[in-house]
Structure 1
Amino acid sequence: MRALLIRDIRLAVRAGGGFGLGLAFFLIVVVLVPFGVGPDSGLLARIAPGILWLGALLSCLLSLDRIFALDWEDGSLDLLATAPLPMEALVSVKALAHWLTTGVPLVLASPLFALLLSLPPEGYLPLLISLALGTPALSVIGTFGAALTVGLKRGGLLLSLLVLPLYVPTLIFGAEVARRGAEGLETGVPLAMLAGITFGAIALLPFASAAVLRVNLR
């Protein structure tokens, strides 16, 4: 599993779906927002949690189609399916590699981007916690969507349409944690809901993704 994880991280970086692409898109979203809504720092501070979470979500979405596509194209996905490693473990490793190459850089860069949107300093830690807790769910849900569309030509648009509705609860509670933290309010309830979504996705979706992959590989 460790060798597979290292291999997937290297493939993600070489294919352009790693650190640079997601961070560049995240930065573009953050930079363009003030041009659209104006330079009012008070307004930017109010909308910053939602904008930052939306930017992180869309940045994760960019590289989902590469999770299984490269293995499908060179035939290695069939070999991995016949390996002693359970399909559920294979899916989990793929999701972890996606999170390490996409989610973690976004989490680490979020305080800098929050500064560009005038987020109050007390909102930085809740934003970091919400992204660190919520982005694994984005990767796991995205892996499920990638498994559904593996092998389809031009399946990127279909993947986006399938995954975006599933991302909505994570977006709602993640942005709410960051918003409440920035306003000095209690964050316990939305944080618990966000944790429930993430742990539920990690517990259930690898089995669903593995079942879908088995069907698609027949």
Structure 2
Amino acid sequence: MKALFLRDLRLAVRAGGGFGLGLAFFLIVVVLVPFGVGPETEVLRRIAPGILWVAALLAALLTLDRIFALDWEDGSLALLATSPLPLEAVALVKAAAHWVTTGMPLAVAAPFLGILLSLDWAVAPVLLITLLIGTLGLSVIGTFGAALTVGLRRGGLLLSLLVLPLYVPTLIFGAEAVRRAGDGQPYGTPLLLLGGITLGACALLPFASAAVLRINLRASA
């Protein structure tokens, strides 16, 4: 598992698998928002949690189709399916590698980019925590979507259509926790719900991803 994880990290960096792409997209969206909605501090502060979360979600979505694509193209996925490592573990490792190369950089950068949206610096720890938890769930859910569309031509659009509805609960509770923290209200409930979604995804979706991969591999044989 460790070797597969490190291999995926190297591929993400060398093959443009998202280490810089997602972060660049996130930066562009946050920089452009003030030009679109105006420089009013109160308006920017009010919409900052939602904008940061939507931008992070879309940035994570950009690179989902590459989770299994390279392994499918060079035949590595078929070898992994016959290896002693279960496909469930392969799916979980793939999701973890995607989170480390995409979700974690987004979460770390978000508090600093929030300054451009007049986000209160006191809210930065809550934003960081919610994005660290939420983007892990996004990566696991996205891995399931990538498994569904692996091997399909132009599967990126279909992947987006399949995954976006599943992303909505994470988006709602993550942004709500940050908004409540900014308003000085208790934010424990949405944070716990966000963590529950991520834990549920990590517990269930690797099995679903593995089942879908087996079906796709048998269909292509």
Q: TM-score, normalised by structure 2?
A: 0.97
Distance 1:41 1:92 in 2: 41
Residue 60 of structure 1 is matched in structure 2 by: 60
- Superposition pairs of residues 1-218 of structure 1, within 5 angstroms: 1-218=1-218
Q: CA deviation at 1:112?
A: 1.0
Instruction: Please tell me whether the aligned partners of residues 131 and 174 of structure 1 are also in contact (alpha carbons under 8 angstroms).
Output: yes
Q: Structure 1 regions of 5+ residues with no counterpart?
A: none
Instruction: Please tell me whether the aligned partners of residues 69 and 150 of structure 1 are also in contact (alpha carbons under 8 angstroms).
Output: yes
Q: Structure 2 regions of 5+ residues with no counterpart?
A: none
Instruction: Please tell me whether the aligned partners of residues 111 and 121 of structure 2 are also in contact (alpha carbons under 8 angstroms).
Output: no
- Count of aligned pairs between the two proteins: 218
Paired residue type of 1:116: L
Q: CA deviation at 1:12?
A: 1.1
Distance 1:15 1:113 in 2: 26
Distance 1:17 1:56 in 2: 16
Distance 2:121 2:160 in 1: 33
Q: After superposition, give the CA deviation of every residue in 1:82-141 in whole Å (9 maximum; x if it has no partner).
A: 000001000000000000000010011111111111001221111111101111000000
Instruction: Please tell me whether the aligned partners of residues 145 and 162 of structure 1 are also in contact (alpha carbons under 8 angstroms).
Output: yes
Distance 1:172 1:15 in 2: 32
Distance 2:94 2:19 in 1: 16
Distance 1:97 1:61 in 2: 14
Q: CA deviation at 1:19?
A: 2.1
Q: CA deviation at 1:17?
A: 2.2
Instruction: Please tell me whether the aligned partners of residues 48 and 114 of structure 2 are also in contact (alpha carbons under 8 angstroms).
Output: yes
Alignment root-mean-square deviation, CA:
0.6
Q: CA deviation at 1:185?
A: 0.8
Distance 1:11 1:17 in 2: 7
